[in-house]
Amino acid sequence: MMGKLFGELSVAAVPYSLPAKRLHSPVKIAFLSDLHGEDHAECLALVREFAPDLVIFGGDTFDERVPLAGGIAALRAFGKEFLTFYVPGNHEIKTGRYDLVKRAAAATETCLLAGENALVTVGENRILICGVEDPLHQEKVYKQQLSAAAKAASGEVCSLLVTHRPERAADYAGLPFDLVLTGHAHGGQWRFPFLKDGFLAPDVGFFPKYTGGVYDLSGTKLLVSRGLATKNTRVPRIGNPPELCLVTLVPRE
């Protein structure tokens, strides 16, 4: 029982079906957040079953307490098989080797989005993916990138914002994105039936508001992944299996 509670949890592949404007046909996205350098094999097997059009890593793929090799291996493995995008989180900055992390990620088969946008074609759909770097030690950079991303998203294509922190929800409310993808909160660490959003989240503290699932922010949809790490979360998970988000965007009628 103790093993089940502390570190030997299987990944829950959680499906989400969400409407999006300016789509002509469904688009499948596998969203992975907060891997923290841990093994990616179970996630890769589940993603293969889902057969997504896009794979997106939403930050904290790396962790300062473990070698960079784990995060690099994950990005390389997914990038070889899928159209894959990677946006860094706060723990990439905490490594103290942030520039090295970004260079290493850019050298894999993934597309690094650290303040950049990517316009991709999936079938008959055009999708804009905007990646915003974490505000840790660089608040001004974060705000500039978010403003630029919002301007880019005001066009005539389906648009996604990938930004690590859900607690900055007020920053995203009302922006012209079809979906905002975040992680960071680790599902609130401990989840119980009477506690909707978990008990504790990084940089927020007790009883956080945004920890897992879909939230409406003045018309903007916020998806918060519970994250994938089980050993490198500092606080153990209880009642909170790691989550692989399998998102299907469907045309809004």
> What's the whole-number average pLDDT of the chain?
93
Which pTM value belongs to this model?
0.94
pLDDT band at 44 (very low <50, low <70, confident <90, very high): very high
The DSSP H or E segment spanning 214 is strand 213-217
**pLDDT surpasses 70 at 253:** no
How many distinct structural domains can be found in the chain?
1
Can you tell me the distance from the alpha carbon of 130 to that of 64, in angstroms, rounded to the nearest whole number?
25
Which pLDDT does position 8 carry in this prediction? Answer: 56
Percentage of the chain surpassing pLDDT 90? 81
37: nearest Cα among 18, 63, 75: 63
> Among candidates 193, 186, 242, which has minimal Cα distance to 211?
186
Helix (H, G, I), strand (E, B) or coil at 120: strand
pLDDT surpassing 60 at residue 205: yes
**Could you give the CA distance from residue 210 to residue 232 in angstroms, rounded to a whole number?**
21
Instruction: Determine the Cα–Cα distance for residues 59 and 92; give it in Å rounded to an integer.
Output: 8
**In which region does residue 95 sit, left (phi positive, over 0), alpha (psi from -120 to 50) or beta (all else)?**
alpha
Domain that holds residue 219: 2-6+14-251
**Angle of helix 41-50 versus helix 69-81 axis, rounded to 10:** 20
Distance of CA 117 to the CA centre of its chain: 16
More confident residue, 3 or 127: 127
Q: In this structure, what CATH number is given to the domain that contains residue 235?
A: 3.60.21.10
Question: Which of these ranges, 78-82, 155-159, 222-226, has the smallest mean pLDDT?
Answer: 155-159
